[in-house]
Structure 1
Amino acid sequence: MIELRDVHKTFGTNAVLKGVNLTIPKGTSMVIIGGSGTGKSVLLKSVLGLVTPDSGLITLDGNDVTKGDRDAFLARFGMLFQGGALFDSLTVWQNVAFRLLRGSLKRPKNEAREIAIEKLRRVGLKPDVADRFPAELSGGMQKRVGLARAIAAEPEIIFFDEPTTGLDPIMSGVINDLIREIVVEMGATAMTITHDMTSVRAIADNVAMLHGGVIQWTGPVSRMDASGDPYLDQFIAGRAEGPIEAVR
């Protein structure tokens, strides 16, 4: 469904992507791992068209993501942001229904609210949360609201940016399980960027490791531990010694 062919991106003198090749089949969950500053977010933004590659091609269903109707293209995506990115001045249900209250996906206000409450239920939040403001919620609840917003418009593709950052181990497990259940239920294509190996094992069908500006290894999550790739092995084990130099 999503394909990247020899994608390059440089910022000034910093070459971030140096020829990325990656294929994400429809209806599968791809998790991209790699250290901080390796270009995972740049890769995600490139697929969304928020960053334009210097060279190479990114396609969605075989079509160049930089061409065509931009609104129609973005309407196919849902996004769970790393920091939640909820709007402080809007109530929870208005946050969840944000895309349903404007633009090409606009629904009547009452209908949008009903959809928002149903999505909140799906992520384990009661209807009485709907009229609260984000500041009244815990970090874990805010993350669930973000997940409800990501799925509110029934997207074909969902991106998860560090979905468990800032959460305790138990809440991280809850969010991981929710993501996996929802992606399977919806039949969505998922792309996650994370350095949390617990999330990788819970969410992924396939894993790709980004290092040195290229995909160092990719394959099914079931083959990850026996990959034989020294970069991947070091990353999984969290060892300071190995081909990946620790920044001090």
Structure 2
Amino acid sequence: MIRFEDVHKTFGTNAVLRGLNLEVDKGTSMVIIGGSGTGKSVALKCVLGLVTPDSGRIYVDGQDTASGGDRDAFLARFGMLFQGAALFDSLPVWQNVAFRLLRGALKRPKAEAREIAVEKLRRVGLGPEVADRFPAELSGGMQKRVGLARAIAADPEVIFFDEPTTGLDPIMSGVINDLIREIVVEMGATAVTITHDMSSVRAIADNVAMLHAGKIRWTGPVAQMDASGDPYLDQFIHGRAEGPIDPVR
């Protein structure tokens, strides 16, 4: 579904991506791990066209993302759960969930958009009484659920999850991980998650890729991760200070 071919991206003197090669199979859940500043978020932004690679190619469902075409239709294929939920404070919850359904290529009548929003809220475990509240009235875990409902509101083919459990306690993190896994399987969507949380990796992933120094250091099924034999991956997943990854950088 998504293929990176020798993708490079430099910001000033900082070479973030240095020949990224990665394939994400259709209908699977890929989790990208790696230290802060290794280019995980930049890779996702390159897919969406928010950042333009300096060189290399990115393909989505066989189509080169640099080939132009209807941008609204292209973006309509994606859903995104942002780090920190990133809800609009001035909009009630249902309008946050239905944001894409109230404008642009996916625009629906207001009553229909609200109905869809309430159904997506129900899918993430929130009742209809939440629909007319504002984000500030919700706990962090509830806000994250609203963000997840928004990500799936338009039934996207591909969903990106950016640090989905950041700031949540272990129990709520487990709830969100379970919801993500259930929804991705239920929708048959292709999922790409970036996270530092190894419990999320084990709960969400079919496959794992480790990004280090701008390249994929290791990739494979999550079941093979612990026995990879790669010293970089081993140090990262076990959180060891000693190893080939310099913790001070």
The question of a shared fold, defined as TM-score above 0.5 by the shorter chain, is answered with yes
> Does residue 85 of structure 1 match 2:74?
no
1:196 matched to which residue of 2? 197
> Does residue 246 of structure 1 match 2:242?
no
Opposite residue 63 of structure 1, the aligned amino acid is Q
Q: Which runs of 5+ in 2 are unaligned?
A: none
Alignment of 1:207-218 (within 5 A): 207-218=208-219
Distance 1:10 1:88 in 2: 34
* Cα distance, 1:62 vs structure 2: 1.3
2:128 matched to which residue of 1? 127
Distance 1:75 1:242 in 2: 42
| Equivalent position SS for 2:225 | helix
* Cα distance, 1:72 vs structure 2: 0.6
Q: Which runs of 4+ in 1 moved over 4 A?
A: none
Distance 1:231 1:75 in 2: 36
TM-score (norm. length: structure 2): 0.99
Distance 1:111 1:68 in 2: 29
Opposite residue 42 of structure 1, the aligned amino acid is V
* Cα distance, 1:247 vs structure 2: 1.3
| Equivalent position SS for 1:166 | coil
Deviations 1:197-242 (A, max 9, x none): 0000000000000001100000000000000000000001100000
> Does residue 103 of structure 1 match 2:79?
no
> Does residue 64 of structure 1 match 2:41?
no
1:55 matched to which residue of 2? 55
Distance 1:183 1:189 in 2: 7
| Equivalent position SS for 1:226 | coil
Opposite residue 164 of structure 1, the aligned amino acid is T
Distance 1:68 1:220 in 2: 34
Structure 1 vs Structure 2 CA RMSD: 0.6
2:146 matched to which residue of 1? 145
Distance 1:207 1:39 in 2: 15
* Cα distance, 1:64 vs structure 2: 1.1
2:231 matched to which residue of 1? 230
Distance 1:103 1:38 in 2: 34
| Equivalent position SS for 2:226 | helix
* Cα distance, 1:68 vs structure 2: 1.5
Opposite residue 10 of structure 1, the aligned amino acid is T
2:36 matched to which residue of 1? 36
Distance 1:192 1:247 in 2: 25
TM-score (norm. length: structure 1): 0.99
* Cα distance, 1:69 vs structure 2: 1.2
Opposite residue 36 of structure 1, the aligned amino acid is S
Q: Which runs of 5+ in 1 are unaligned?
A: none
1:159 matched to which residue of 2? 160
Deviations 1:133-166 (A, max 9, x none): 0000000000000000000000000000000000
Alignment of 1:162-181 (within 5 A): 162-181=163-182
2:24 matched to which residue of 1? 24
2:10 matched to which residue of 1? 10
| Equivalent position SS for 2:182 | helix
Distance 1:220 1:76 in 2: 25
Opposite residue 147 of structure 1, the aligned amino acid is L
Distance 1:61 1:170 in 2: 36
